[in-house]
Amino acid sequence: MNQVLDLLGFATCVRSDSQLRGPCPLHGSASDKSRSFSVNLAKNAYRCFKCGSAGNQLDLWAASQNMTLYDATLDLCKRLGVEVPWIGEL
């Protein structure tokens, strides 16, 4: 999740243990001090209380890049230099 947030340039406004709050990188919060976007690093889950988007780090990347989950998986693995899990199994 941290790597995806870094790729998106997410700016944390509030941090409490594994919980982050800040402006939503998906709908483009109007204020840099917005806290509508919440991330739980321990659960690898996010939710925006304004636009309603929610899911895990792959869902976040897919939504931010307007991609299917399959295409987002390939793209994210390439960007992060990680082997695509099912290709390595062939």
Rounded CA separation 18/41 (Å): 5
Question: Does a structural domain hold residue 62?
Answer: yes
| Number of folded domains that form the chain | 1
Question: Does a structural domain hold residue 87?
Answer: no
CATH code assigned at 7 = 3.90.580.10
Share of residues in the chain with pLDDT > 90 (%): 68
pTM of the model: 0.84
Q: Which domain holds residue 71?
A: 2-80
Q: Which residue has the higher pLDDT, 32 or 83?
A: 83
Averaged confidence pLDDT in the chain: 89
pLDDT value of position 88: 54
For residue 57, CA distances in Å to 2, 18, 31, 81, 89 come to 9, 15, 23, 16, 23
